[in-house]
A and B are shown apart, each in its own frame.
Chain A
């Protein structure tokens, strides 16, 4: 098999993941896009492992590590998202600007004042 096929697929998948991370607003969807990117990396690792066939089997071992880390990441990430949702009432990362600039926050709260003020007043 040509190495180009998995490599190109991995590159495209990674780009799709990049788009998802940048374009999505819902925190869970962003996490999903991160998973896509991780999987693109996995595909690359497996493909290069099959190509190089080194004695250490580095590609597959690292893939297993990546999958494990992805599981840990999604568990922690979802815990954080749920916590944020519970305190702020929204999973929307564009509105989580508590640590942002005053000016930015003012603009933001002027944009969609109802939800922002509600979410923050509850906290």
Chain B
């Protein structure tokens, strides 16, 4: 395969891990920061802090892209992710529920299972990846990711997917508009009588049997 031939770096490594280059050191340091920010982002109970740590993680990833000479992708990452996606996420958080301070219901009950799954996945993937690419070496020639190169390949070889993607974006745009249009006519206003259907106020938990609760909720849903 010419792809592998072009890479030509599956040969046994002559470069050890113990004498890292400058780019590698920077990469690892930024990578640690990205990882730390990502962990805090999924772990913190303060919702908006989570989104802001996500900003740090994504910004760090943009730096990693720069280090991998994918310049154009890095700026796209900053423009789309930091400029739009995270702002949208923050917007969504603030429009739903984003109190200052900790929210007790940020994590669900199966946290430990999730942790287990994640650790297992991490262990498997890292073992696999390290085993497979221990000896591979990236030749970081400059200019591989400049705008002109990326643009040329995008519009020479990837035109059809590009156009398909634009259709997808249009569909997403229309979908978002349809979803977020207010349906004042469709959604009936909550009536006071319905909200107070025989709710046992201050009763013992035993009194809140499904029979007392479910008629209204099941009918409505």
For window 58-106 of chain A, which residues contact chain B by CB distance below 8 Å? Answer: 60-61, 63-65, 67-76, 78-83, 85, 87, 90-92, 94, 98, 102, 105-106
CB pair A61 B195 closer than 8 Å:
no
Closest to B178 in A: A79
Known contacts A25-B107, A75-B173; is A61 also within 8 Å of B179 by CB? no
- State which residues 20-62 of B face A: CB under 8 Å: 21, 23-24, 27-28, 31, 34-35, 38-39, 41-42, 47, 50-51, 54, 57-58, 61
| Contact status A1-B21, CB under 8 Å | yes
CA distance A86 to B118 in the complex (A): 32
Q: Are A8 and B95 in contact (CB under 8 A)?
A: no
A8 / chain B contacts, CB cutoff of 8 Å:
126, 129-130
- Main SS at interface, chain A: helix
Residues of B within 8 A of A (CB-CB), count: 114
Contact (Cβ within 8 A) B133 A4: yes
Cβ of A29 and Cβ of B47 under 8 Å apart?
yes
A113 to B3: give the CA distance in the assembly, Å: 59
Using a Cβ–Cβ cut-off of 8 Å, how many residues does chain A contribute to the interface with B? Answer: 89
Contact string against A for B residues 49-86, beta-carbon threshold 8 Å, 1 for contact and 0 otherwise: 01100100110010011011110110011001100110
A2 in contact with B69 given A53-B6, A67-B77 (CB within 8 Å): no
Q: How far is the CA of A18 from the CA of B47 in the complex (A)?
A: 18
Given A57-B153, A110-B208; A72-B172 close (CB under 8 Å): yes
| Bound-state Cα–Cα, A90 to B82, Å | 26
B54 to chain A, nearest CB (A): 5
> Is there an interface contact between B126 and A122, defined as CB atoms closer than 8 Å?
no
Inter-chain contacts of B39 with A (CB < 8 A): 16
A98's contact among B23, B97, B208, B221, by CB below 8 Å, is which?
A: B221
Bitwise interface map of B from 133 to 153 toward A, beta carbon under 8 Å scored 1, else 0: 110111111001100011001
Residues of B within 8 A of A113 (CB): 208, 213
Determine which of B50, B130, B161 lies in contact with A4 in the assembled complex, contact meaning CB atoms within 8 Å.
B130
- B151 to nearest A CB, angstroms? 10
Could you list some 30 contacts between A and B, CB below 8 A? A1-B67, A2-B137, A4-B130, A7-B130, A13-B34, A15-B119, A24-B42, A26-B96, A26-B103, A35-B54, A36-B42, A42-B65, A50-B69, A50-B138, A50-B140, A51-B9, A56-B158, A57-B153, A74-B88, A76-B172, A76-B175, A79-B175, A87-B187, A98-B221, A105-B217, A109-B210, A110-B210, A117-B199, A121-B220, A123-B221
Instruction: Give A contacts to B, CB under 8 Å.
Output: 1-26, 28-29, 31-33, 35-36, 39, 42-43, 46-47, 49-57, 60-61, 63-65, 67-76, 78-83, 85, 87, 90-92, 94, 98, 102, 105-106, 109-110, 113-114, 116-118, 120-123
